[in-house]
Amino acid sequence: MNYSPKFNQRLAPLFCAFFLLATAVSSLSAESLQYLPAGPLDSAVVLAPPPLPGSAEQAADMAAVVATYHACSSNDAVLAFSEKKFSMFNFAPTIGTFLQPGKLPRTEAFLERVQTEAETVTDLAKDYWKRPRPYTTDPSLASGKLEKSFSYPSGHSTEGTAIALVLADLFPEKHDAIMAFGRNLGWHRVMIARHYATDIYAGRVFAQAIVHEMKASPEFQRDFAEAKKEIAAAQAAAKAPLEAVPAVAAQQ
């Protein structure tokens, strides 16, 4: 297959980004990444560059942030700011009240590892693309405590989607609600001008590739099976009928 020089010039930055990201990931120690391979990520983990500064696409991206930011209600802003730090337990409203810290230790450790590894490779991507956050480009959008990291791809969107994908496999009957919650975790960041919409979309794509790679890991498969077993036991216990009141107690 032949490619024109113009086509190659357009793709060069994309493949350069992938090469540098893969090289950075390969430099991480085995202790840092247990579920993701020590070498390059799957070829699906290739993000298109964010809109170029000064371009019409960037202007449209910024206009979307401004409109969303000004349409955000005070209650929605409070919710978005409360999600600065989040975990699998934020998904409890979509899964059940039994999803609480300390109740499912194996599952908790498993999802924490998934989130940590997703965060690690997302931070590498952010440092490569170095896209300024919306409030850096437009200071009128600044509010609350501001992040110092870069914008593309969104860490909340990547981590939230990665957690959602795994939780949806653990709780297939709750799949749609879980995935919707994960999407909203990312979108809320646009509402408070922490990210552009394109940062959020990139995070969703990145998360899909990350989880795809994780699923090939024997360690991931082992921990997933243990979490599934732990969840099944917890659900069975919750449905178990109450024990009959002892006869002695009944006579008192």
Model confidence pLDDT, tens digit, residues 93-110: 999 988 999 999 999 999
Q: What is the CA angle 78-83-88, rounded to 5? A: 145
- Alpha carbon distances (Å) from 24 to 126, 127, 151, 210: 12, 10, 18, 15
Domains of the chain (ranges, CATH numbers): 55-239 (1.20.144.10)
Residues 137, 199: contact at Cβ < 8 Å? no
Above pLDDT 90, what percent of the chain?
68
Average pLDDT over residues 198-202: 97
pLDDT score, position 3: 41
Rounded-to-integer distance, Cα 220 and Cα 226, Å: 10
- Alpha carbon distances (Å) from 221 to 89, 99, 206: 21, 21, 20
Query: What tens digit of pLDDT does each residue of 110-143 get?
Result: 999 999 999 988 988 898 899 999 999 999 999 9
Query: What tens digit of pLDDT does each residue of 28-39 get?
Result: 544 578 998 865
Rounded-to-integer distance, Cα 216 and Cα 213, Å: 6
At 14, is the pLDDT very low, low, confident or very high (cuts 50, 70, 90)? very low
Residue 9 per-residue DSSP state: H
pLDDT score, position 29: 46
**How far from the centroid of its chain's Cα atoms is residue 78's Cα?**
20
Six-digit token string for 194: 């922490």
Average pLDDT, the chain: 85
Higher pLDDT: 149 or 248? It is: 149
pLDDT score, position 249: 44
